Amino acid sequence: MQYDHEAIRKVYSNVVTIDDSSGIFDKDGNSVTVDQSLIDAARVELNKLNYQSERKETYPDWRTQLEYIYDHGIDKWKTDMVDPIKVKYPKPSS
């Protein structure tokens, strides 16, 4: 079975081990039973945050951005660097 590790950890703070072949366990090695509806809800919330990491990975490093601002100004930086990434990875509406 393939578990959604990130969503499980979001819902169950007591979980320390998630093994796709043997199960989900707490710090004492006790098996933890999970409610799939809670995991699914957590996945929906986590997916809403994906745009943040996608944007972060796409933006140039801060030095490159500062040089661009210095050479072209803030407005040009926003239209050339920031806005295209925000369009490509939009913030979810709700």
Return the pLDDT at 1.
Answer: 81
62, pLDDT greater than 80: yes
Amino acid symbol at 7? A
**Angle at which helices 50-58 and 36-48 pack, to 10 degrees?**
40
Give the whole-number percent of the chain exceeding pLDDT 90.
89
- The residue extents of the domains of the chain are 5-48, 50-88
**Backbone phi, then psi, for 27, in 5-degree steps?**
-65, -25
75, pLDDT greater than 80: yes
78, pLDDT greater than 90: yes
**What's the whole-model pTM score?**
0.62
Contact by Cβ (8 Å): 58, 65: no
Task: Give the mean pLDDT of 50-78.
Answer: 96
CA distance 83 to 77: 9
